[in-house]
Amino acid sequence: MNKSELVDAVSKDSGLTKSDSEKAVNSFICVIGSVLEKGDEKGVKEVALVGFGIFSVNKTSGRSGRNFKTGAAIEIPPRNTIRFKAGKNLKERVNCKGKTCKQLN
């Protein structure tokens, strides 16, 4: 599913217009990105959506690597990566395999 398909699905599911659904999806993406980039008012760089999952920032340390083409050793700098850990309800919904699945609320 791409972004436009997500907007269509949100519009259909919520009864919002496609324009309002697009604003909601864009706002959701913007807020999550902003919190992961800068942190919330407490400085926490994490978004927890109960039942869905947790978006968080994971810091990786620098390390030595190797250029596969030349074989030369290189230093890989430390960086921040985005992590998503699926919540219990989402895991159950994905793994229900044809059984009646609980709605994600």
Looking at the structure, tell me whether residues 93 and 56 fall in a common domain.
Answer: yes
**pTM for the structure as a whole:** 0.74
- What residues does 54 pair with on adjacent strands? 48, 85
CATH number at residue 63: 4.10.520.10
Span 18-69, pLDDT tens digits: 999 999 999 999 999 999 999 888 888 999 999 899 999 999 999 999 999 9
Q: Whose CA is closest to 74, among 63, 82, 83, 87?
A: 63
Give the chain's radius of gyration (CA, Å). Answer: 19
- Percent above pLDDT 70 for the chain: 91
Looking at the structure, tell me whether residues 56 and 92 fall in a common domain.
Answer: yes
76, 64 Cβ separation under 8 angstroms: yes
| Chain mean pLDDT for the chain | 90
Q: For residue 81, what are the domain limits?
A: 52-105
pLDDT band at 102 (very low <50, low <70, confident <90, very high): low
